[in-house]
Structure formats: structure tokens, C-alpha cells
Amino acid sequence: MQTGGPAERKGFVVWLEGLPGSGKTTLSQTLGERLRSAGWKVEILDGDAVRQMFSPELGFTRKDREFHARRVSYVARMLARNGVATIVAMVTPYETSRQAARADVEIAFEEVWLRCPIEVCRARDPKGLYRRADGGEIHRMTGVDDPFEEPLNPDLIVDTANVTPAKSASRILEHLANRGYIQRVLATA
Ligand SMILES: Nc1ncnc2c1ncn2[C@@H]1O[C@H](COP(=O)(O)OP(=O)(O)OP(=O)(O)O)[C@@H](O)[C@H]1O
Ligand SMILES: [Mg+2]
């Protein structure tokens, strides 16, 4: 249980995974705000922005996606070990990548699956990716012509089709409190 100021706090990685449109970016921001307001140093490694900076040369083959995830987990570990509450928001469609991330981060790693039926993600289509994939404009789109492997070993599952972002964030904070990474008062705020 963390009771001290930021300097004494041990960092952790919350790895949010799920289909495009499942709410990773939305939830990472809600979660980040809640942690920041409690005095945590927070960094969010969000799929798209991070990909442009870390892996502009990589595409969306299995090998490229796995390689990109390794880069992200490497940085996540560095942040976490320096006391940062690190939130990763990445589709992470392959089980091999999740297992590699868990092994790479090593310390305080919580895998959270944002479970949301593809029909709901499609209806949301916040970036128009499903529409473009259906139209043949983009290829290897997860959920369309590339698989999203069902997570085998998530630490927590959040139903983002039916649960509001605020409630999902509370659920994750409660989980982090159960694991002793944050104070319980934050989970019930
Ligand atoms: N209960 C909910 N939880 C999360 N998001 C929701 C919920 N209900 C509606 N939404 C909406 O669904 C959309 C989710 O989009 P978001 O960009 O967060 O998904 P994403 O998982 O980051 O997708 P991508 O992989 O393409 O980046 C947002 O427009 C959000 O407002
Ligand atoms: Mg996103």
C-alpha cells in the first residue's frame, strides 16, 4: 500500500488491450486524470501517437506488431521503475505480445482487457477505421481481416460495452488498490 508522497511511490504498468473502438484511449484518459488528481506521476503510452514516434517504419504484420509491442513494454518498464503510473493503451491483438509484455515489464504489470463486442466497436468506429477497412482502403485491420486473439490471462476484464468510462476507471482503480499499488481511497473517490 502506497501511503507516502510521489517520491516514495512504486510505479506500475496498466496495460489496456482491446479491439479498435473498445475505449482504450477514452479510459486511459479518465484513469490518468484520476491518478493525477491523487498526486501520481502518470504517463500514457497510447497506441497511435506512440506508434508514430517509436515505429514509423513498422506495419501491421504479426511480426511488426509484436516488435512494436516490445518497444512499448521496454519503455513502460523504465517509467514504472521510476515511480510513474504507466498506462499503455494498445490493441495488443496477439497473446504472444501480452505474454512478452508481462515478462518484459516484470514489475507490477496489470493486463486489463476492455471487452466489447465487435458490433459495438463497429458502431462506434471513432476513427472510421472499420469503414475504411470494409471499403478495402486499409488492410490487416484487427477485427476485420486480422485476428484479435481472446486474452487467456488478463488480470482484469472490463465490459466497456455496458459500463461507463468513469465506472470502468473505478473498477481498475479498485483492482490496483487490491494489488496494493494505490490507496483504496482513490478507488472509491
Ligand atoms: N462505456 C464506454 N466505454 C468506453 N468508451 C465508450 C463507452 N461508451 C461509448 N464510448 C465511446 O467509444 C469510443 C471509444 O473510442 P476510443 O478511441 O477510446 O477507442 P480505442 O480503443 O482507443 O480505439 P483505437 O484502438 O482505434 O485507438 C469513444 O468515442 C467513446 O466516447
Ligand atoms: Mg485509441
The CATH number linked to 73 is 3.40.50.300
Q: Which of 171, 27, 183, 136 is nearest to 90 (CA)?
A: 27
Atom of ligand 1 nearest to the CA of 164: 1
Global confidence as pTM: 0.95
> Per the domain annotation, does 1 fall within a domain?
no
Strands 12-17 and 85-89, by their bridges, are parallel
Residue ranges for the chain with pLDDT beneath 70? 1-8, 185-189
Q: Ligand 1 centroid vs 21 CA: distance in angstroms?
A: 5
Q: Ligand 1 centroid vs 120 CA: distance in angstroms?
A: 10
For the chain, what is the domain count?
1
pLDDT of residue 131: 98
pLDDT of residue 116: 98
pLDDT of residue 47: 87
**Alpha carbon 120 to chain centroid distance?**
19
The response to whether residue 91 sits with its C-beta less than 6 Å from ligand 1 reads: yes
Closest residue CA from atom 16 of ligand 1 = 23
pLDDT of residue 4: 52
pLDDT of residue 1: 46
d(CA 161, CA 50): 25
Amino acid identity, position 141: M
How far is residue 45 from each of residues 51, 126, 151, 173, measured CA to CA in Å?
Answer: 9, 19, 20, 18
> Per the domain annotation, does 132 fall within a domain?
yes
Domain containing residue 158: 6-187
> Per the domain annotation, does 136 fall within a domain?
yes
pLDDT of residue 187: 64
